[in-house]
Structure 1
Amino acid sequence: MSGTGRQLAVTADEVVDAELVDEGAALSPAPADPGATPAVHTDRDRHLSPETVAAIEESVADSTRRAYSADREAFAAWCATEGRVPVPASGETMAEWVGYLTVTPRKRTGKPAGPSTIERAMSAVTSWHEEQGHPKPNMRGARKVLNAYKDRLAEAKAEAARARQATAALPSQIRAMLIGTDRSTLAGMRNAALVLLGFATAARVSELVALDLAAVEETEHGYDVTLYRKKVRKHTTNAILYGTDPATCPVRALRAYLAALEAAGRTEGPLFVRVDRWDRIAPPLTRRNKDTGIVEPIGDPAGRMTAEAAAEVVERLAVAAGLSGDWSGHSLRRGFATAARAAGHDPLEIARAGGWVDGSRVLARYMDDVDRVKNSPLVGIGL
């Protein structure tokens, strides 16, 4: 990300209140001397080393960091065009900017940004202020502009009026996705294991591709798979159980894939690897640096799949199966929550298994998708 050490992609929600307590004050709670000269922070006190900046930025998901960076750059460019100050921004500037976003077509779509995209951009700019030591700008006017935009979209029956959500990959859809998968090939076995393990663990694709072979342990019930849930900063060990249908059994799919990896000489390193067109584990990718002439590696040298590649597997299988909807890597995670709730499982257990934060609004929305029918007041009233 461009900018000084203070321009860090860390949102306010990611800072625990307790972390804001000065360590020295916590250890030495003696009252301050009223006659003492108050401490004055210098530029040195405000300085962050490049290593610390990098460590803080790494705490934020890559996708969030890229999106926030793009939003901030776009806001700064608009301010420059309009002759306005980006940081600290006035409430009037924020309202005008949000109004601009609601009417200006984007290059990629030819349409203005949707409400959720504008919400994210607003968060990017307000957190940018905090990172530079400024209070958040007054957002009352900007919120009213956004609310009016939402009303207009709803009245026009516009598609953007509803927040986009990944289609839930339920067991019936997963079964359809895997029917055409050739499981005699390494790529087919990998794809089946990826989809079924992703569903069984409710993993984000970034968590799924981060798995190493060492994180998979065979047990009497099937497998135990330990994932690191970055958003809650915890490891969860998920029990992977046998399925009733061999075609969608995650244990059988994972066992077959692990055997194929071992036959290919892979007994350590990443679990999900790139496979080339000849059905071989892809060799390390390299390119020659134009400036230095040195051949440099591209991506993970061990052949680990990227999160984007894993999401593409899900999308490609859904399209090949003729399934309608908005498919992405997140479809597996949403499908797990929906199917588990429909089967009557407790929301707390679902949250723990999938690494959702306590009180997750996203998970609550998935629960509502099921509960609005199951718990409808119309049930059992005799219509």
Structure 2
Amino acid sequence: MSAGGLPSVVETGRTMAHAFAGEAARERFARMVEDGTPPNTARAYDSDRAYFRSWFEISGFGEPELPIRPDILVRFVVDHSEGLEPQIDAALVAAGVKAKPGMQRISTVSRRMAAIATWHRRAGYPSPLAGGPVQEAMRVARKAAARRGFRPRNKKAAVRETLQTLLANKIAPSSADVRDDAMLLFAFASGGRRRSEVAEARIELLEEVDGDYVYHLGITKTEQEGSDRKVPIAGPAAVALRAWLSLVGCSEGPIFRSIDRHGRIGTRHLNGRAVARVVQRRAAAAGLDPKAFGGHSLRSGFVTEAGRQGKNLFEAMALSGHRSVQTVSRYHQAGTALSNEAARLL
């Protein structure tokens, strides 16, 4: 690993490159960083850095070296907010780092800039988004996008009635349906688990209590050092989970596993996209727009349903694991909107 992969020393703002002069020391640090970074995050960062490198080189700036000049980063923001030059756009598509020509959403630009900022911080440099012209360029770009009609494409919340509809519309009776029922109910009943948490859930973290289950969360997106939090899998969710586990027939390993075309249950866990595809398949079978739903629908649906039923916001957060009241309150308030006494003044 080059010095570009070393961490920052927060106390002094200097790099620790001098402490990692040997190849063996750099390799040890590289392994620690790799093991300490969630796989999905690592893949996203790699993809965004590959895109930025291609744009950098195709735009004629040569080979990128840290720290990236602020004026080049501002140019990156402008290019992707106002539209790339046609020849650069075509070259990025030809390089395989861009799916198709045309404008990109401001959310995509923001994510790529966040990856670039992380790249800098890990190399011991200040984040280019921490004040200065790059941060200002992103602020203006977001405002411009909003004035041009950009709205975040949030997936539709799967509230209680929607979830019941998804459960009622099976593609065909099979072991996959038993698994998918258990998966949908597990995700919702446990507090709206993220799709990665559902996909990576393990049997040995389950504890049976009076006919229901308690699940020990362990590592989550916001608790990368592990969590001792427990969430319930109760009622219909426990019944569905028990039916699936009886088919799995194991006392350890992934809860939700791959199933081949012959109906044989495998040993590998699913990935997060598979969870989203289950939601979308069930939505399509129910006559709903599958593009409107995804893995996040179960998470937002749990919090929205809690609001609809008048449940305390902080009780919902205790199960969902949201840390930001601002984030979770959007869903909770959506659920309480029609029950607001001031909503029916007429």
Shorter-chain TM-score category?
Answer: 0.7 to 0.9
Instruction: Let me know the Cα RMSD of the aligned residues.
Output: 3.0
Maintained 8 Å contact 2:159/2:302: yes
Distance 2:17 2:251 in 1: 54
Q: Output the TM-score relative to the length of structure 2.
A: 0.81
Distance 2:44 2:111 in 1: 8
* DSSP-derived class of the 1:218 partner: strand
1:163 counterpart = 2:152: yes
Aligned counterpart, 2:254:
270
Distance 2:17 2:134 in 1: 35
Distance 2:211 2:11 in 1: 46
Within 5 Å, give how 1:117-196 maps onto structure 2: 117-137=108-128, 140-157=132-149, 161-181=150-170, 184-196=173-185
Aligned AA (1:271): I
Aligned AA (1:277): R
Identify the match of residue 273 of structure 2 among 286, 308, 311: 308
Q: Deviations over 1:35-68 (max 9, x none)?
A: xxxxx97734466432332222332222222222
Deviation at residue 276 of structure 1 after TM alignment: 1.4
Aligned AA (2:102): K
1:56 counterpart = 2:33: yes
Aligned length: 322
Relative distance call for 1:88 and 1:236 in structure 2 (3 A) is same
Distance 1:42 1:228 in 2: 33
Aligned AA (1:251): A
Deviation at residue 152 of structure 1 after TM alignment: 4.5
Aligned counterpart, 2:55:
78
Greater helix content: 2
Distance 1:73 1:185 in 2: 41
Distance 2:335 2:319 in 1: 18
Q: Output the TM-score relative to the length of structure 1.
A: 0.74
Aligned counterpart, 2:212:
222
Range with greater deviation from structure 2 (175-184 or 89-98): 175-184
What are structure 1's unaligned runs of at least 5 residues? 13-18, 23-39, 243-248, 283-301
Maintained 8 Å contact 2:3/2:17: no
Aligned counterpart, 2:202:
212
1:343 counterpart = 2:309: yes
Q: Deviations over 1:319-368 (max 9, x none)?
A: 222222522212111111111122222222212212223x2543233234
What are structure 2's unaligned runs of at least 5 residues? none
Maintained 8 Å contact 1:90/1:137: no
Deviation at residue 196 of structure 1 after TM alignment: 0.6
Range with greater deviation from structure 2 (208-217 or 76-85): 76-85
Aligned counterpart, 1:379:
343
Maintained 8 Å contact 1:206/1:307: yes
Percent identity (aligned): 25
Aligned AA (1:205): R
Determine which structure has more spread, i.e. the larger CA radius of gyration: 1
Maintained 8 Å contact 1:183/1:189: no
Within 5 Å, give how 1:20-99 maps onto structure 2: 43-45=18-20, 48-80=25-57, 81-83=59-61, 86-99=65-78
Deviation at residue 168 of structure 1 after TM alignment: 1.1
